[in-house]
Structures are given as C-alpha cells and as structure tokens.
Amino acid sequence: MSERLAGKVAVVTGASTGIGTGIARGLAEAGASVVVNYAGDRAGADRVVAEIVGKGGEAVAVRGDVSKAADVERLLEEAVRAFGRLDVLVNNAGVYAFGPFESITEKEFRRHYDVNVLGPILTVREALRHFGPDGGSVINISSIVGSRPLPTTSLYASTKAALENLTMSLSVELAPRKVRVNAVAPGHTESEGTAAMGLFEGEEGKRMAGNTPLGRIGTPDDVAPAVVFLASDESRWITGEIIRASGGLK
C-alpha cells in the first residue's frame, strides 16, 4: 500500500466485479479506505474486501441499489460511519444490453437510465451532504461509446453521453464548493460481464483489438490508474474533463 491517497475515503459503486473491482483495488493500493458497493453480488463484494484487507488495506462492503434514493442515503451514511468521512465518489455501477434499435423496450430504457444516469445524480446529491470543507472528487465511469457509438449500442451509448454532459455541468456548478467532477471513459475492456456476453471472442475480438491503436483489449487494471489520479491531489486543478482510457480509441 502506498501513501498517495492516505487518509482519504472512497465509495465505489458497483465494485463487486469488473472495472469496479479494479478501481476499488487501485484506490486501496494507493492508501484509500474503500467502500465496496454492490447491488446483489454479496459474495463478489466480500471477495474484493478480503483481497484489500489481506494486503493491509481498509475496506467494507455495503449493499445498495444506486437507482433508489433510500439505498443511496444509507450507502453513504454507512461509509461515513465506517471511516469517519467521505472524500471520493466513483460512480461505476451501470447496466448494459446491446441489440438493434427496434428491440429497445420501455422497461429496458428505464432500467438503463435509472441506473446509469439517475444513479449518479442520486449519489452525487447525497455525497454533497458528506464531503468536508475541503470538498471532494467525483469520478463518473463513462464509456468510449458515449462519444463514439457503435451499432446496437444506441441505448447504452445515450446514457453515457448523458453522464458525460452531467459531468461537465456539475463541474461548473460544484466548483465553488471545492468539488471536482471528472469522468473516465474506458474503451474495449475485458470483464466478467463482457466475457459472459462473448464480446471479445473469436474474430470479432481480434478485430476490436486490431482497431485499438495500442493493439489489445483493455483490463480493469488499465482503467484504475486514471481513477486514482483523479482521486488524488495531483489532479487538484482538473475538473470537467473526460479522460479516455481506451488504448488510443477516439
């Protein structure tokens, strides 16, 4: 564990698997105390906590559906109860389903926007009640498709475009309160979810890797360093930015 984020407390939503797990590990390795949020995968969250604690870090798992205001309120209250303060909020929880535009249903629309857009709105609103006089850092996890949409990603891509706009808007509104708001937009990234969908298998996976300037599919550990940077005082003069952690994809 390093001292880079020593004394800071971070909440990472949707941290029981995938990119969220990589971010939680990265923050803990930099010295932050980490709240590992999960909606349903308690076993996964417990594994992440055990890994962090086993390496000498501090972490707790807290259940909560970010699309529900009462859950969000409890999540951040438990974070402060566990570690005494709140410095960093990482809005990573998200859902995605790809398919032809005609396949989008009202139910799927609401599911995507409730988690991917309403969720960050609720968590930021609640975090403002807990950030101290020195402010805080909000880091929203977007996606390269927020600015570079692909076929069959219309619904998901639109939520990430909304999240990036929200990031820029909040960065201006919250700056007087010393709250910085930035986003990280991963490119093609291997995770449990993408593996289950088979997104990067076979020739299609080779094509996606080949279209990435750095020549491979990313991993959660490729995304985490950008989040650690934005959580740290090294980025104290940075707000309203979208960092593409995408291997060169624009």
Q: What is the mean pLDDT of residues 9-33?
A: 98
Per-residue pLDDT band for 101 (boundaries 50, 70, 90) equals very high
The per-residue pLDDT of the chain, averaged, comes to: 94
Q: What percent of the chain has pLDDT over 90?
A: 84
pLDDT of residue 208: 79
Contact predicate 76/128, CB 8 Å: no
Q: What is the spatial order of strands in the sheet that 9-12 belongs to? A: 59-63, 33-38, 9-12, 88-91, 136-141, 179-186, 242-245
Contact predicate 35/79, CB 8 Å: yes
User: Residue 58 — φ and ψ, nearest 5°?
Assistant: -120, 130
Amino acid at 106: E
Burial class (CB in 10 A: 0-12, 13-18, 19+), 81: exposed
pLDDT of residue 65: 98
Per-residue pLDDT band for 195 (boundaries 50, 70, 90) equals low
pLDDT of residue 149: 86
Q: pLDDT tens digits, residue range 136-166?
A: 999 999 999 999 888 999 999 999 999 999 9
Q: Is the pLDDT of residue 185 over 90?
A: yes
Closest CA to 163 of 112, 129, 224: 112
Burial class (CB in 10 A: 0-12, 13-18, 19+), 20: buried
Q: What is the mean pLDDT of residues 30-35?
A: 98
Instruction: Give the C-alpha separation, 19 to 179, whole Å.
Output: 24
Per-residue pLDDT band for 193 (boundaries 50, 70, 90) equals low
**Cα end-to-end distance, the chain, whole Å:** 33
Instruction: Give the C-alpha separation, 111 to 156, whole Å.
Output: 10
Amino acid at 79: A
* Axis crossing angle, helix 119-127 with helix 69-83, rounded to the nearest 10: 40
Q: What is the mean pLDDT of residues 23-42?
A: 98
Q: Is the pLDDT of residue 196 over 80?
A: no
pLDDT of residue 194: 67
Q: Which CATH superfamily is domain 9-189+222-245 in?
A: NAD(P)-binding Rossmann-like Domain (3.40.50.720)
Higher pLDDT: 192 or 95? It is: 95
The answer to whether 96 is a known catalytic residue is: no
DSSP 216: S
DSSP 64: -
Higher pLDDT: 161 or 193? It is: 161
Q: Is the pLDDT of residue 178 over 70?
A: yes
Per-residue pLDDT band for 135 (boundaries 50, 70, 90) equals very high
* Axis crossing angle, helix 42-54 with helix 18-29, rounded to the nearest 10: 20
pLDDT of residue 155: 97
